Amino acid sequence: MKVAVVGATGLVGTKMLQVLAERNFPVTELFPVASERSVGKEVEFKGKKYKVVSATDAIAARPAIALFSAGGSTSLEWAPKFAAAGVTVIDNSSAWRMDPTKKLVVPELNADVLGKEDKIIANPNCSTIQMVVALNALHRQYKVRRIVVSTYQSVTGTGVKAVTQLMNERQGVKGEMAYKYPIDMNAIPQIDVFLDNGYTKEEMKMVNETRKIMRDDSIRVTATTVRIPVIGGHSESVNVEFEKEFDLEEVRALLCKTPGVVVVDDPATQQYPMPKDAHERDEVFVGRLRRDETQPRTLNMWVVSDNLRKGAATNAVQIAEYLNKHKLI
């Protein structure tokens, strides 16, 4: 199977190559794609070196799948060109997520919406992915009515430039800034640009994508997204109100049985999910399970996941695996 990775030299693109190798996806030919200035550079995959090619050359090679992580403008320009050549695109940017003609997929929840006709498939926002994976079984059992979520997001979600800024600040080195403000020893309550309603684009992604993935426009979501000086994963404080009453032990049991979820929840021994433990893992970790004592049928939970893996690369590769297994490519 021929596979192209568009944005192969970036943080997520590099992780996509790593995950494809780890999961033994049946790649017969690899076409790493990056910007024109990166053409000719080499990337490594399964111990072999591959030269970076242009998007035009990758299309000419007619890969079965193209995994995109090169930003929204690149996806808007090139994904339709790949699709027109018969290539199935799995896109990690926000470009196609809310397009009503495109599927927005987390395989554990809604891969069944995919068909052979889907040539551009959207990979959701990293913060949304981990939250809906944690909530899916609970939504089926108790029906989610309202979610209040606050995120504590890793600098890796911004990219290499942000990681460099953090490390420079730790070492007292002046350098290029990914953020307007210092990130070390700080928390920045802005991810992406502000919209007219006072929320950021990242916050509204969580609102809209959650409803689309969970196939329920009645779910009310309000979000506050914050960047913190962490590398390894995003954390979320999730307060969820259900339509039906729940039993806390049943909630724990449901989460323990949920594919892709690991429950780490033992306050007596100070066991709870942390980004350093989620780093380089594909699971979504859930803990701090407790009732909201201020109103009925409401649960508090803490959700952590590696944003470059399940939040991006792994989810995209899992979509590719589903397409391959069900002969949709």
The single residue of 126, 139, 256, 279 carrying the catalytic annotation is 126
Query: In the chain, what are the domains?
Result: 2-124+312-325 (3.40.50.720), 127-307 (3.30.360.10)
- pLDDT, one tens digit per residue, over 94-129 is 999 999 999 999 999 999 999 999 999 999 999 999
Q: Is pLDDT at 90 greater than 90 in this prediction?
A: yes
Q: Is pLDDT at 213 greater than 90 in this prediction?
A: yes
Which pLDDT belongs to residue 141? 98
The single residue of 234, 256, 279, 326 carrying the catalytic annotation is 234
Mean pLDDT of the chain: 97
Which pLDDT belongs to residue 37? 87
Q: Is pLDDT at 36 greater than 90 in this prediction?
A: no
- How far lies 105's CA from each of 172, 173, 210, 224, 231, in Å? 42, 41, 11, 23, 25
Average pLDDT over residues 31-35: 95
Rg (the chain; Cα; Å) = 20
234 annotated active-site:
yes
Identify whether the C-beta of residue 185 lies closer than 8 Å to the C-beta of residue 229: yes
Which pLDDT belongs to residue 181? 98
Q: Is pLDDT at 272 greater than 90 in this prediction?
A: yes
- pLDDT, one tens digit per residue, over 220-242 is 999 999 999 999 899 999 999 99
256 annotated active-site:
no
Identify whether the C-beta of residue 236 lies closer than 8 Å to the C-beta of residue 224: no
